Chains A and B, each alone.
Chain A
Amino acid sequence: MEGGLGEGEIEFLRTSYREYYYRHSSSLWIPPRLESREIGFLTFEGHFKRHMRAGTPGELVGAVLREVPWGIFYSVSYYEDPGNPDMDEKGWLGADLAFDIDVKDLHPACMDAHDFYACADGSVRPLSDGALPGCRRVDWVCPSCVEAGRREVLRLLDLLQRDLGVRPDSISIYYSGHRGFHVHVEDEGLRDLGREARAQIADYVSLSSYDPAFFARLLPLSEGHLGTLVGWPARVVEALRAKYGVPPTRPALEALVGGDLRAAIDAAVAAVRVRIDPQVTVDISRIFRMPTSLNEKTGMSKLPCADIIACDPLTEAAVLSEEPVKVEVSYAPKLQLKGYTYGPYRRSTLKLPGFVAAFLVSKGVAKIVKSRGGASGP
């Protein structure tokens, strides 16, 4: 299977999506300042329709119900003329500050265990065997992935609030519906920042171009002054303290690492940097998946996490119907959704709840088995 979906699978997904959007037509999340946002739809035919606009929530919901898109997106930027296809003529007015945390970049140990290659001849290769022509990588999701993402989000929140002074009530957190989290900041003071300024913020968060000399200059000689440090240097000091078990003043550190201060600082920085995708933060012409819309990679929703600690994405984002659907699964690692464990499966034909079937079908590892009546669902 190449990952391209068959007609029956697309029909099943389209029906499931339609039902979800009808059921939630009055509770879909609507972007603030909707009339100034660019809207984009990914269609089930695989086309990206960009540069649309919706004047009212009713217009947007109407278009969603009419077209039943595979993916729904909105711009982080506000424009005078969001429907203008020429980026330069949209009339940029400002943008939310957005962060994307992709679990793939965090390399949790579970990833090597559950991600795999699905090959054209129907065989399956573990990730460690490496890529081959004719094989495509299938990314899986498990509770450990979610936990890795959640930890990173918490680190980002701490930094945004303590260092950058962002008010908690201007921060929104979302589970992406696949294997990541999005953090959006709507702050009057940050709205006008251009690309260069956003690149500065992304750089601060990810510490990608930090200067060890700057840190070394700040590092105090005496233990009493260590507590005056703030910002990322304070976090690096904590990491050094945890690693070496002593207060990392400059003399103490130099004595410990035998002159190679640089390597010690680098290692500590690697432990405290927040791994975001910087391009997402910088690129203000980007469109983002709309919260509460369905993610075409899984059929799960992009879930607002009002409380990041309590939020349970693999339960709450599995929003499609529970109605059983008969599927033929080629291969699937263990899948944990809504508190139940499904699989692992290997060449099995069985009935699974709609949201599980949708996940497997979206991943290109299952086909719908048509019932005698020809309908793909109840």
Chain B
Amino acid sequence: MLRVSFGEEELGDLPFLQEAGDLLVRRGYAISLSELAGGPGEPYVELGLRRARAGVIDGRLDPGILRGAPPEHRILSFVIAALIVGATGNAYAARRFALAEARHLEGLLRDRARANRGDARTLVSAIYSKVLGMRLEPVDRLIGAELFEVRLGLSGYLLLSSSLDPSKWGIVARVVDGGYVYMKLEESIRLLREGVAKHLERRVLSARVTSPPEWLVAAAAELSRELARARPAESAAPPASSGEYPPCVRSLLRRLESGENLPHFARFFLAAFLVNAGVPLDEIVAAFSRSPDFNERITRYQVEHIAGARGGKRYSVPSCAKLEALGLCARDATCDGVRSPLAYLRRRRGGGQPRAGGEEGGGRPGRRGDRIPEDEL
């Protein structure tokens, strides 16, 4: 295990580490919730409220919020924010908060790498080890024309990179040797974001307290309300239950509905399918709005690009074989030998057959009015 001692300033930026909790104890802060009863008015509680809101509503943590606060307040604000988000019981909120915090950490680590590479590498390795239980080893290895700074075990790498763009993060586009994937420091920081986000998400969701103080319950309720207002209307999204869609598409829509961050290619495929299925762009954008890292402007741009609305060509829908190769095929008996998801749709729409009733399997949707149930929000 890596032996690193963190400075107090540093721990203020790493509030999810055990060492950060230890610092609070040393400073005489009680971290049991009942003793946090100080409640609103305390600067760190105010900071915690802002932090929760920044992550869940804005989807990003403005470093300005924390600037100037002493390390123990930065740590406490994280603890409180996590408790508030956890108290909403909303998986989407938790994911969004976790992602914002992980992005924030990524920014800090990138700054650090610019200032002092050696230092940053040690710190990044320590976080890999303490938060993810993975060994990111410093190396300075020249391979061909490139110098690599760190390496990570293959299975850990695959785990962390699974939702990133395979054309850049796939192992075929990496130097792999002896069971290790070699990277530059910045790449390992980007990858760390994925792992930290997943870790924090789990932690936030499990951070329920038995009898939370009233102000916390109220803050969670207010946050839930605000999120419900801010989140684009789900009812505009295409229904995952639509039996017109092949099982692979239904499965991806379900994953989106549950607030999962889909891997890069899965998003591309889903968008291309829905575009080709004639679903209006607004509805497609709405489907992606449930993604925790949703950014409406970027999503709209991408969907329009896929649809060819920006002067380019319209992208075609990948074949079943391609989807199988990428691990996205969810073939079941209803596929009956189709070779492309669009062929499934065409067959289901039955080329001019009446839309209502009669089709075997009973999965016939034809019910565009049949909306997905709202989730907990």
> What residues of chain A have their CB less than 8 Å away from a CB belonging to chain B?
162-166, 189-190, 192-204, 207-211, 214, 217-221, 225-226, 228-233, 250, 278-279, 282-283
Contacts and interface: CB of A to CB of B under 8 A. Distances in A.
Interface string B133-163: 0000000011111100000011100110111
Contact of B143 (A198, A201, A228): A228
Contacts of B162: 194, 196-197, 200
B247 to A, nearest CB: 10
A203 B170 contact: yes
B142 A189 contact: no
16 contacts: A165-B153, A193-B158, A195-B328, A196-B162, A197-B162, A200-B162, A204-B176, A211-B173, A214-B173, A217-B146, A220-B144, A226-B144, A228-B142, A230-B178, A279-B321, A279-B324
Contacts of A196: 162-163, 263, 326-328
Contacts of A220: 144-145
B325 A208 contact: yes
Given A189-B153, A211-B173, A165 B179 contact: yes
B324 A164 contact: no
B251 to A, nearest CB: 9
Given A194-B327, A230-B177, A200 B145 contact: no
Interface residues of B, number: 34
B325 A278 contact: yes
B144 A201 contact: no
A279 B325 contact: yes
A190 B155 contact: yes
A195 to B, nearest CB: 3
Contact of A218 (B144, B159, B179, B328): B144
Given A200-B162, A211-B173, 13 more contacts: A165-B178, A193-B159, A195-B328, A196-B263, A197-B159, A200-B161, A203-B170, A209-B167, A209-B170, A211-B172, A226-B144, A231-B177, A279-B321
Given A164-B154, A190-B155, A221-B145, A283 B175 contact: no
Contacts of A233: 144, 175
A194 B142 CA distance: 32
Contact of A164 (B146, B170, B176): B176
B89 interface: no
A209 B166 contact: yes
A47 to B, nearest CB: 15
Contact of B154 (A165, A211, A218, A225): A165
Among A193, A195, A211, A231: residue with most chain B CB under 10 A: A231
Nearest to B265: A196
Contact of B180 (A165, A200, A201, A221): A165
Contacts of A231: 175-177
A190 B153 CA distance: 11
Contacts of A166: 179
B281 interface: no
Contacts of A200: 158, 161-162, 166, 170-172
Contacts of B177: 162-163, 230-231
Interface string B307-337: 0000000000000010011111100000000
Interface string B165-193: 01100111101111110000000000000
A202 B325 contact: yes
Given A196-B327, A208-B325, A201 B146 contact: no
A271 to B, nearest CB: 16
A211 B173 CA distance: 7
Closest 7 CB pairs of A and B: A165-B179, A195-B327, A218-B144, A230-B177, A197-B158, A189-B155, A199-B327
A131 to B, nearest CB: 19
B121 to A, nearest CB: 21
Among B159, B161, B175, B325: residue with most chain A CB under 10 A: B325
B172 A204 contact: yes
A194 B262 CA distance: 14
Contacts of B144: 218-220, 225-226, 228-229, 233
Nearest to A226: B144
Nearest to B142: A228
Contacts of B153: 165, 189
